[in-house]
Chains A and B, each alone.
Chain A
Amino acid sequence: MTFRHIAAALAILVATPTLAPAQEFQGQLGARQGQMRIMALNLGILGGMARGNTEYNAELAMIAAQNIHAVTMINQAVMWPEGSNADAIEGTRALPAIWEDFDGFLGHWSDLGAAAETLVAEAGNGLEPMQGALGGLGQECGSCHDAFRQEQ
Chain B
Amino acid sequence: MRPVFRWLIAIAVLGGGAGWALSAPEALPEDALDGLTGDPVAGERIFWAGGCASCHAAPESEGEDRLVLSGGQRFPTEFGTFIAPNISPDPEAGIGGWSDRDFVNALRNGVSPDGRHYYPAFPYSSYRLADTQDLVDLHAFMATLPPSDAESRPHAVAFPFSIRRGIGLWKRLFLRDGYTVAGDLTGDAAHGRYLAEALAHCGECHTARGALGELDRRVWLAGAPDPVGDGRIPNITPGGLDWSDQEVLDYLTDGFEPNFAGSAGGAMAEVVQNLAELPEEDRAAIVAYLRAVPAVTSEQTP
Q: Which of A39, A135, A151 contacts B223 (CB 8 A)?
A: A151
| Contact B260–A47 (Cβ < 8 Å) | yes
Q: Which residues of B contact A152 (CB under 8 A)?
A: 234
| Contact B254–A51 (Cβ < 8 Å) | yes
Q: How many residues of B contact A (CB 8 A)?
A: 26
Interface centre among A40, A50, A97 (most CB of B within 10 A): A40
Residues 118-152 of A contacting B (Cβ, < 8 Å): 135, 137-152
Does any Cβ of B come within 8 Å of A107's Cβ?
no
Does any Cβ of A come within 8 Å of B182's Cβ?
no
Distance between A9 CB and nearest chain B CB, rounded to angstroms = 13
Does any Cβ of B come within 8 Å of A116's Cβ?
no
| Contact B265–A146 (Cβ < 8 Å) | yes
Distance between B92 CB and nearest chain A CB, rounded to angstroms = 34
| Contact A142–B261 (Cβ < 8 Å) | no
Does any Cβ of A come within 8 Å of B268's Cβ?
yes
Q: Which residues of B contact A47 (CB under 8 A)?
A: 254, 256, 260
Does any Cβ of B come within 8 Å of A1's Cβ?
yes
Distance between Cα atoms of A41 and B256 in the complex (Å): 13
A-B contact count (CB 8 A): 83
Distance between A100 CB and nearest chain B CB, rounded to angstroms = 8
Q: Which residue from chain B places its CB closest to the CB of A144 in the assembled complex?
A: B265
Q: Which residue from chain A places its CB closest to the CB of B265 in the assembled complex?
A: A142
Distance between B62 CB and nearest chain A CB, rounded to angstroms = 9
Q: Which of B1, B230, B250, B265 contacts A145 (CB 8 A)?
A: B265
Q: Which residues of B contact A40 (CB under 8 A)?
A: 259-261
Residues 253-302 of B contacting A (Cβ, < 8 Å): 253-256, 259-266, 268-269
- Per-position contact with A for B76-117: 1 when CB-CB < 8 Å, else 0? 000000000000000000000000000000000000000000
| Contact A139–B1 (Cβ < 8 Å) | no
Does any Cβ of A come within 8 Å of B231's Cβ?
yes
| Contact A95–B231 (Cβ < 8 Å) | yes
Interface centre among B234, B254, B262, B269 (most CB of A within 10 A): B262
Distance between Cα atoms of A32 and B231 in the complex (Å): 20
Does any Cβ of A come within 8 Å of B232's Cβ?
yes
Q: Which of A36, A96, A138, A144 contacts B256 (CB 8 A)?
A: A138
Q: Which of A43, A138, A142 contacts B266 (CB 8 A)?
A: A142
Does any Cβ of A come within 8 Å of B229's Cβ?
yes
Distance between Cα atoms of A147 and B253 in the complex (Å): 22
Residues 29-75 of A contacting B (Cβ, < 8 Å): 36, 39-41, 43-44, 47, 50-51
Does any Cβ of B come within 8 Å of A2's Cβ?
yes
Q: Which residue from chain A places its CB closest to the CB of B62 in the assembled complex?
A: A136
Does any Cβ of A come within 8 Å of B226's Cβ?
yes
| Contact B230–A95 (Cβ < 8 Å) | yes
Q: Which residues of B contact A141 (CB under 8 A)?
A: 262-263, 265
Distance between Cα atoms of A149 and B234 in the complex (Å): 12
Q: Which residues of B contact A5 (CB under 8 A)?
A: 1
Interface centre among B1, B232, B260, B266 (most CB of A within 10 A): B260
Q: Which of B256, B260, B266 contacts A146 (CB 8 A)?
A: B266
Q: Which of B226, B235, B253, B256 contacts A43 (CB 8 A)?
A: B256
Q: Which residues of A contact B253 (CB under 8 A)?
A: 51
| Contact A36–B261 (Cβ < 8 Å) | yes
Distance between Cα atoms of A137 and B234 in the complex (Å): 22
Q: Which residue from chain A places its CB closest to the CB of B262 in the assembled complex?
A: A145
Q: Which residues of A contact B269 (CB under 8 A)?
A: 138-139, 142-143
Contact A96:B260 (CB < 8 A) given known A2-B1, A135-B254, A141-B265: no
Distance between Cα atoms of A43 and B229 in the complex (Å): 27
Q: Which of A43, A137, A138, A151 contacts B231 (CB 8 A)?
A: A151
Known: A39-B260, A138-B264, A147-B229. 6 other contacts (CB 8 A): A44-B259, A97-B231, A138-B254, A145-B263, A146-B268, A150-B232
